[in-house]
């Protein structure tokens, strides 16, 4: 999530030092720039690195120690950074239309879009916006549901209920309970959107959504079309899964609660946001008892510590030829939920100084789901580490979807055979039934996620463009949830609620289409890595664990960072310049056949 890094090639450093001596001349705002574009970018890279360190120190403190003081430090760092950024962007705009090296042009474009906080060029408004974002993050992180003064449940506790309980009313209470944290965010979020739009317009974008969509080496309109195209490719898979899951939930909870021709109540899918459904696998296991992949039990019976779970992920990356994580990673990461203070438990991976100060922040539990998330987070860390030889502005993923896909590509290699090899399950079977069981488990994660991954930003694009007015925030949210996911709130929702605020990335202001794209890309990457590892046979049976050939090419992609358009990076690894869902469709072919058979005679859709 947090990307970028430091370390400069000597020539960049030399130019940067020259640039520093020219700082006073560039104060004359309207004058012809005293620096060449290349010199200017070198200076941005240097200064940005210092900002990066400061912002991340404040951000880390805020996320791992939520209190009044960290709020002050975080808001101030963001406000000061935003002032610097907006001043520098104004200068950057003066180079528009000038001849320059392509990598300088790219760096300038990236810089204009790289605002962590897009605020208007006005001290008071900048301060207000930084404060709002710090507050929203804190409200989410410290959010609890209290039945009474001394009976409060945190998010991880509420998530456990949603994952484990099969009692309709108990699930409902946890679902509603968590959503009591977000109504107070509504006014703040409304104001945030106004200010962010004002800032985006000053940078030349139609609104903040337009700015987000412009980050993909194509026009904003092309990007909208591109995501719609990918969704169309995968929609049939989702509809089959939805139909089958709904039928099974109807058997468990009764058709009065889960009508077979309508949307699924949002609290029954094992996840607080109904975004990934693997926690209800027990209700869906196609062939009960065949090839037991119960990693949860192993983690609990062998009493894996959070550190041991992280080591397991590190061992995988090392098997691809990557380095072992630095000592500071182990010393400075937050692996568990501290008992004495509020923290943001939502998992994230950081590079605090842009160089090697890599860390993850998680409240690790002993589940397979969490283990997969650890592999996901280390994907970010290994990416950050690999591109730290790039100039600062290129220390980022080829695009956000690449960043999110690295760790998940590795997760696709956690095959039953791999799990046996590392002692996470006792034995595995090679039958057709075993394959379908595993695919069901994976589809509940990967296929179920697709519409969710698509709709979150569709809501925000609407909010930022003004198409969704504040008076319709919640209504529009549930319309999208219905349209894409075929789910509905279990109780009536009104504009007194603000359900988008109960999802981390909304108050956290993290764009979300990246995850949708990652769910397409990870299968493309996996297909290529499996070819490099000379895997023969079905794609779903491939693990690249231990393959130095696959690891080398994978790492070469990571090192490239954001230095070239993502299409070039994709082509270099996979031979194609397009994101394409055919790999995910191939991968799940066995399960789709099973689902179609199961759904015969059912009326699917909602």
Give the binding site for Zn ion (CB under 5 A): 404
373 binds ligand X8Z (CB under 6 A): yes
| From Zn ion, ligand X8Z, none, interface partner of 458 (C-beta below 5 to 8 A by class) | none
Picking from 598, 540, 600, 601, the residue whose alpha carbon sits closest to that of residue 245 is 598
Contacted by 478, from ligand X8Z, Zn ion, none: CB < 5 to 8 Å by type: none
**DSSP classification of residue 430:** -
Shortest gap between Cβ of 349 and Zn ion (angstroms)?
A: 7
The helix (H) or strand (E) run that includes residue 170 is helix 168-178
Residue 39 contacts which entry, ligand X8Z, Zn ion, none (Cβ below 5-8 A, type-dependent): none
C-alpha angle 520/526/528, rounded to 5°? Answer: 110
- Work out what residue 506 binds among ligand X8Z, Zn ion, none; the CB cut-off runs from 5 to 8 Å by kind: none
Cα–Cα distance for residue pair 324/313, rounded to 1 Å: 11
Selection from ligand X8Z, Zn ion, none that 348 binds (CB < 5 to 8 A by kind) is ligand X8Z
User: Which of 200, 347 has the CB closer to ligand X8Z?
Assistant: 347
Dist. CA 396–CA 3, nearest whole Å: 5
Supply the minimum distance, in Å, between the C-beta of residue 376 and ligand X8Z.
6
Task: Provide, rounded to whole angstroms, the least separation between the CB of residue 375 and ligand X8Z.
Answer: 11
Measured between alpha carbons, how far is 455 from 483 in angstroms, rounded to an integer?
9
Task: Count other Cβ atoms within 10 Å, centred on residue 546.
Answer: 16
- Which of 184, 508 has the CB closer to Zn ion? 508
Q: What residue is closest to Zn ion based on CB?
A: 404
CB of 276 to ligand X8Z, least distance (A): 7
Place of tokens 């962590």: 116
Which of Zn ion, ligand X8Z, none does residue 314 bind (CB under 5 to 8 Å by kind)?
none
Report the site for ligand X8Z in 499-538 (rule: CB under 6 A): 515
For 122, residues 6+ apart whose C-beta sits below 8 A from its C-beta are: none
Within a 10 A sphere around the Cβ of 20, how many other Cβ atoms? 12
Whose Cβ is closer to ligand X8Z: residue 56's or residue 599's? Answer: 56
Smallest distance, Zn ion to C-beta of residue 380, A: 6
Of residues 376 and 540, the one with the C-beta less far from ligand X8Z: 376
- How does DSSP assign 517-571, residue by residue? HHHHHHHHHHHHHHHHTT--S-GGG---TT-HHHHHHHHHHHHHTTSS-HHHHHH
- Least distance from ligand X8Z to the Cβ atom of residue 456, Å: 8
541 binds, among Zn ion, ligand X8Z, none (CB under 5 to 8 A by kind): none
Q: How far apart are CA 166 and CA 157, in angstroms?
A: 15
What is the closest distance, in whole angstroms, from the C-beta atom of residue 275 to ligand X8Z in the complex?
6
Q: How far is the CB of 438 from Zn ion (least distance, A)?
A: 23
The nearest distance, CB 102 to Zn ion, in angstroms, is 30
Give the CB-nearest residue to ligand X8Z.
347
The least distance separating ligand X8Z from the CB of residue 164, rounded to whole angstroms, comes to 19
Q: Which is nearer to ligand X8Z, 205 or 231 (CB)?
A: 231
**Residues that contact ligand X8Z, how many (by CB under 6 A):** 7
Q: Which is nearer to ligand X8Z, 138 or 400 (CB)?
A: 400
Please give the C-alpha separations between residue 380 and each of 282, 314, 324, 415, 504, in angstroms, as whole numbers. 31, 12, 14, 21, 18
Min dist CB 218 to ligand X8Z, Å, is: 23
- Give the residue from 370, 418, 448, 427 showing the smallest Cα distance to 540: 418
Question: CB of 162: closest distance to Zn ion in angstroms?
Answer: 21
Degrees, nearest 5: CA angle 497-500-504: 130
Interaction partner, residue 437 (ligand X8Z, Zn ion, none; CB < 5-8 Å by kind): none
321 vs 508, which CB is nearer to Zn ion? 508
**What are the Cα distances from residue 239, in Å, to 257, 277, 443?**
20, 14, 12
Q: Is 367 in the site for ligand X8Z (CB under 6 A)?
A: no
Interactions with ligand X8Z, residue window 250-309 (CB under 6 A): 275
Residue 347 interacts with ligand X8Z (CB under 6 A)? yes
Pick from 114, 271, 348, 413 the residue near ligand X8Z by CB under 6 A.
348
Q: Looking at beta carbons only, is 374 or 434 nearer to Zn ion?
A: 374
448 binds, among ligand X8Z, Zn ion, none (CB under 5 to 8 A by kind): none
Nearer to ligand X8Z, 279 or 515 (CB): 515
The token pair at 280 is 């209800």
Choose among Zn ion, ligand X8Z, none what residue 333 binds, the Cβ cut-off being 5 to 8 Å by kind: none
Which residue, 57 or 510, has its beta carbon nearer to ligand X8Z? 510
φ, ψ (nearest 5 deg) of residue 516: -60, -50
8 A C-beta contact, residue 240 and residue 440: no
Are residues 93 and 32 in contact, defined by beta-carbon separation less than 8 angstroms?
Answer: no
The residue assigned the tokens 């015969």 is 600
Which is nearer to ligand X8Z, 350 or 464 (by Cβ)? Answer: 350
Q: Any idea of the CA torsion for 162, 164, 166, 169, to the nearest 10 degrees?
A: -40
What are the two backbone dihedrals, phi and then psi, of residue 361, each rounded to the nearest 5 degrees?
-130, 115
The 10 Å CB-count burial string (b at 16+, else e) for 107-120 is bbebbbbbbbbbbb
**Nearer Cβ to Zn ion, position 135 or 404?**
404
Residues at the interface with ligand X8Z (CB under 6 A): 1, 275, 347-348, 373, 376, 515
């Amino acid at each position: 999530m947090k990307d970028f890094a430091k370390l400069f090639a000597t020539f960049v450093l030399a130019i940067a030092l020259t640039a520093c001596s020219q700082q006073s001349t560039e104060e004359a705002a309207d004058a012809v720039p005293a620096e060449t574009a290349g010199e200017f970018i070198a200076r941005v890279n240097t200064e940005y690195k210092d900002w990066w360190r400061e912002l991340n120190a404040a951000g880390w403190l805020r996320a791992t120690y939520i209190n009044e003081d960290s709020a002050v430090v975080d808001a101030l760092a963001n406000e000061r950074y935003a002032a610097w950024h907006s001043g520098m962007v104004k200068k950057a705009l003066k180079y528009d239309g000038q001849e320059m090296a392509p990598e300088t042009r790219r760096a300038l474009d990236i810089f204009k879009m790289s605002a962590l906080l897009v605020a208007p060029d006005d001290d008071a408004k900048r301060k207000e916006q930084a404060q709002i974002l710090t507050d929203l993050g804190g409200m989410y992180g410290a959010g609890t549901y209290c039945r009474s003064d001394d009976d409060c449940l945190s998010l991880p506790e509420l998530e456990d209920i949603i994952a484990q309980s099969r009692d309709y009313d108990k699930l409902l209470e946890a679902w509603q309970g968590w959503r009591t944290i977000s109504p107070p965010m509504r006014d703040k979020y409304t104001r945030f959107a106004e200010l962010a739009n004002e800032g985006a317009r000053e940078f030349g974008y139609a609104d903040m959504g337009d700015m987000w969509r412009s980050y993909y080496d194509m026009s904003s309109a092309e990007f909208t079309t591109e995501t719609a195209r990918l969704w169309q490719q995968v929609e049939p898979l989702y509809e089959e899964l939805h139909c089958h899951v709904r039928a099974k939930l109807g058997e468990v909870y009764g058709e009065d609660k889960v009508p077979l021709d309508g949307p699924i109540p949002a609290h029954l899918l094992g996840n607080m946001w109904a975004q990934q459904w693997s926690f209800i696998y027990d209700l869906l296991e196609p062939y009960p008892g065949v090839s037991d992949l119960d990693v949860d039990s192993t983690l609990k019976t062998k009493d894996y510590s959070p550190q041991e779970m992280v080591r397991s992920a590190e061992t995988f990356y090392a098997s691809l030829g990557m380095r072992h994580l630095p000592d500071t990673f182990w010393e400075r990461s937050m692996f568990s939920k501290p008992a004495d203070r509020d923290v943001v438990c939502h998992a994230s991976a950081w590079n605090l100084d842009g160089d090697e100060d890599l860390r993850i922040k998680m409240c690790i539990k002993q589940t397979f789901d969490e283990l997969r998330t650890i592999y996901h987070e280390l994907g970010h860390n290994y990416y950050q580490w690999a591109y730290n030889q790039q100039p600062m502005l290129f220390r980022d993923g080829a695009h956000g979807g690449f960043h999110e896909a690295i760790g998940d590509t590795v997760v696709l290699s956690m095959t039953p055979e791999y799990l046996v090899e590392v002692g996470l399950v006792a034995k595995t079977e090679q039958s057709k039934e075993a394959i379908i069981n595993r695919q069901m488990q994976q589809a509940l994660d990967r296929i179920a996620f697709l519409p969710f991954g698509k709709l979150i930003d569709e809501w925000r694009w609407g909010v930022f463009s003004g198409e969704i007015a504040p008076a319709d925030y919640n209504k529009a949210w549930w319309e999208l949830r219905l349209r894409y996911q075929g789910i509905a709130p279990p109780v009536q929702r009104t504009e007194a609620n603000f359900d988008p605020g109960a999802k981390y990335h909304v108050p956290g202001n993290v764009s979300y289409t990246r995850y949708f794209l990652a769910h397409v890309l990870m299968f493309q990457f996996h297909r290529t890595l499996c070819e490099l590892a000379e895997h023969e046979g079905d794609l779903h049976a491939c693990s690249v664990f231990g393959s130095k050939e696959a690891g080398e090419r994978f790492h070469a992609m990571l090192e490239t960072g954001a230095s070239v358009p993502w299409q070039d990076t994709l082509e270099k690894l996979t031979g194609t310049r397009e994101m394409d869902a055919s790999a995910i469709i191939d991968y799940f072919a066995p399960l789709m056949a099973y689902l179609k058979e199961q759904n015969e005679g059912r009326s699917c859709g909602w």
